[in-house]
Structure 1
Amino acid sequence: MDEDTCICNSVYNELRLEQELCDAVIIVDKTEFQAHKVILCNCSPYFRALFTHWSTPDCRIFEIPNVTPGMMKLIIEFAYTGFVPVTHENIQELFIAADQFNVKGIVQACSDHLEGQLAPHNCIGVWWFTDIYYNPELKNKASLFTLNHFEEVAAKSDEFLLLSAQELANLIEKDQLNVKNEKTVFEAVLRWIGHAQEDRREHISLLLSNVRLALMSPDYIMDSVTDNELVKASKECRPILLKAMEAMLDLRTRRFSSNIFDNPIARPRLPSAILLAVAGWSGGSPTNGIEAYDVRADRWTNVTHDEVDHRAYHGTAFLNGSLYCVGGFDSVEQFSTMYRFELATQTWQEVAPMHSCRCYVSITVMDGQIYAMGGYDGHDRLETAERYQPSTNQWTSIAPMHDQRSDASCTTLNGKVYICGGFNGSECLLTAECYSPETDQWTMLAPMGSRRSGIGVIAYAGHIFAVGGFNGTTRLRTAEAYNPQTDTWHAVPSMLNPRSNFGIATIDDCLFVVGGFNGFTTTLDVERYDVETGEWSDVRDMEISRSALSCCVASGLPNMADYAYPRSPLQFSDDEKEELES
């Protein structure tokens, strides 16, 4: 609301409070409210119709039923001030009253409040509420919240137990259902049935047909699914289990053959987050290629946009639904520029440049701001650092590091920025330091066990992992982890392959390393480390072989399907449709 509007509203409200120039008296349950017709007309189509079509021009007194005086007071005050106090205690009654009188501003305020309060224990209730009081935007957000937090909802929510069989079937059949392990879905079905077993046991086949059984381990299928008393007692479950066994065989012999994505019992669900590998050095020159890794399907998808510049040795960050591409090198010049790609609308925009040109730059995000440190400006290796505030579109210099660093890598943990390794113009570094925004100071840490330039650094499992890189002689497979509590480094298992100048990120509780240079050539291979098992394992290769790329993880996207491996709409046979509808 602009300043002139606020002043105007303040004048009108003073007139109302002093009961001057009022031309309407609203009576609710014997309580009178003086008001100006034109102000109420501006607030609500209901009042406009009341004053212009449902009454004569000289009518001043209007009795309004089916609302409390307290709610009418809030509506009238909102009409004059543009503000309404939304609380946990009044929100349901306020929403209903605002819907009844079509006060869109209050409906929006209530929707915003409900969205901000969404939690695993209440998201289904909000979803039900929007079935009664039509609000498609809030309904969609409540539905997405339920899908994204399904594991917590299914385990702890009392509302979950009150779903109808068809509502639960509709929920668990969705690709967007966020579960790391499909057994979570089966166990949720058992919890729901167990709440009223005698009444609900007949629904086991309907619900089991929407569980992606073929994504479970064979041991779990045999021990926990086929041996379950509800499943064994239902003859309709037998063909479902048979189809699951056939799909599991196909899955393990052909590793995600294309028909798997059309099979409702084996189709991987959409991931809740996507790993993006952006640009880099490929085939002797920079590329603009962007690939997205779908961790549920173990597949890469090319999502390149032609508007993106070809660049390498840059940095990327994901913040507020956007991908930022920072600095870098196009084989001719070093860049200070930064571009923002809004992932929902798939549009690029150039935003404020850094104070310095920076290729071989280190980029991270903390507290809603992007940090850019070190790099090479075409003349010198830099110790300077700066941070970007999206709300003001401005870069601000922060304290310089102790060491000049290009080809370093950085991350954040517990409110501090950590940067490790790199190259100072004469040697590969084993030093590390951390930055505190509260003091605007850098503190030197215990040095790493190895010199590492072209290193990958990431916060994982409460430690700072320093992986791979170049020690001045060879590309490294080794990795080490820093404990901030003890200021010490310790060795962790080595990667399967040596690499420098690669992408690094954590997703799905694992650490991923992507591409890089292995000492002989750029590579497209990808591997991951699971701290629970202490092992590295291969995952699917990228399509583009490259080094000097940058990776980040994007989550919470409304259009996640645009970046996940393509899944065509599920097709059911007539028999399957009949079974689902029964």
Structure 2
Amino acid sequence: KADGSAVDVHRHLGGLFPTLRSEGFLCDILLKVKENEFPAHKSLLACSSDYFRAMFKSYTQESKASVIHLQVVSPTGLQHVLDFIYTSLLPLSFESLEDTLEAASYLQVTDAIGLCNQYLVNNLTLENCCFSANVARKFYLPDVLAATEKYIISNFWKLLDLDFTGLLQLNFRSLLAVVKSPDLPRVKETCLLNFVLMWLKQDSSRLDHRSSLLEHIRYGLIPVEDLRKIYTQSEMPLTAGIKCLIIKAINYHTSVYKQPVLQDKSTTLRNQKTRIILLGGGRANEGLVTDVVAFDVYNHRWRALTHVQDRVQNHSVCVVGNFLYVLGGEIEDVTNKVHRYDPRFNRWTQVTGMLEKRCQFSSCVLGNSICAIGGRGENGLLHSSVEVYDISRDRWRKATELPCKIHGHAGAICKNTIYISGGKCTGQASTSKDVYSLSSLEEQWVKQAPMSIARFGHQMATIREAIFTFLGLYEPFSEIERYDPDQNQWTRLRPLTYDRFCYGLVVVEETALLIGGKKCLLNGTNITLDQEFYTNVNTRFVIHVDLNIGLLKMGYRKATLLYNCAKSAKHLQSECHNITRKEGRKIKIKEGK
């Protein structure tokens, strides 16, 4: 009531029933568990428990009984549930939690079950998370189970460093959630496999689960020596299906050059992170460098990643199967070397070199092949040649030549067609506006509508089935163009904020990122230390960055996109900040999936 009398009655009854219970006054039912007796009031039990409400219906035998024997619950559990019914207070601890849940579930006291849920979720630790998962599985607490399994997955690497006792008692379904998870941070696949084998050997009844667990191990991430040992010396009999997975992984490891085209779930790191890789070129005060750095797109952090073997510039890069290929460029002289980087294991491999030595050329990926197009060779001679790298065979072959010898051009793939633009051809004093396309490696190059601006040393990017050309060498007006392949038409867009050249470019989530480079000034060139993001919907924003890595002095410093970068203990102390738009509104970078 508005005057508060209803509240007073509730408080009065809440204090009255515990008093009546403690005095044994008006108790009309006796609950017995083994030798333990619990006097109670039918009316209150029926109000609080669906089990007792159904039991005390007039048509049941128990409705007229004065003593009820409860065979399932424990004395401790019943005591706690009765305390809750009478006082609304539920005493909880991990020691008595199972007894309490068992009684609350059996007697259908839903409010008590809800409090147990909260207690388990709010008190998760490394020491009790496995116990909590087992309890949640036993009593079917889906919210608790989801929270505990998420906690175990996130902290599995920590749990492996603790006493295995708790982990080895983890129920099958929760362990299955762990081995199936794509987000298992800091856990080597070998360690995960060893733990699963240890868990299976704990109890012979668990062997029924071996296929269900072992089929989710990513054997392609386990060293081949360990795979052979498991295959030949395993203490546990392996099923034919698991043996096939191990043999497949061994074949993967021995097919070194084919690995980029053999990638699947079993060879992909868990807990993938998107990184932009910056390599080659030079710093403002150091000249050409060998260090390779990685940029976290979503946390705006640079960190040291690896080193290239040679100081290189005017090279080209591309990614196949999340392997990074570095092609050609200038070391001291023009080179045809090709190196491949595996970010999973921080490993470099030199593959077969190109047929021609090239720098200032373009490369692209068409299907499972890498195409190297044009460029400048030894003694300044230009190439019209195009060559294709067959990854499966580690072999280069000639393809249809360009109509002219050209270098300093840019290339992109759009709708499975290669496009190149600009550059400078042999015998021409000025740069070119020309655009050529190649829809099949066996066909001829086709001339398309030219750009409105002649460009050299520029970059191209494909976004939403349109091609964007970004500024090149000495373009002070910083203009951008967009090409529609269906209409064979170019459109000028709003210019970038700053001119630049010799920069790196990569596309992340339909946004082009321009990184580093040189800036044109009236008295020469100067280093620029910002990144510019340019999208295809006529909006743009600039992130001013103190990179702390002094980009860039000379030559091209290439940027490319990779996942699964191997972790390094050393982080560069640099950070992006001040995200703005021309209109002054803030833009938040969307978190990756």
Structure 2 length as normaliser, TM-score? 0.49
Structure 1 length as normaliser, TM-score? 0.50
Based on CA coordinates, which of the two structures has the bigger radius of gyration?
A: 2
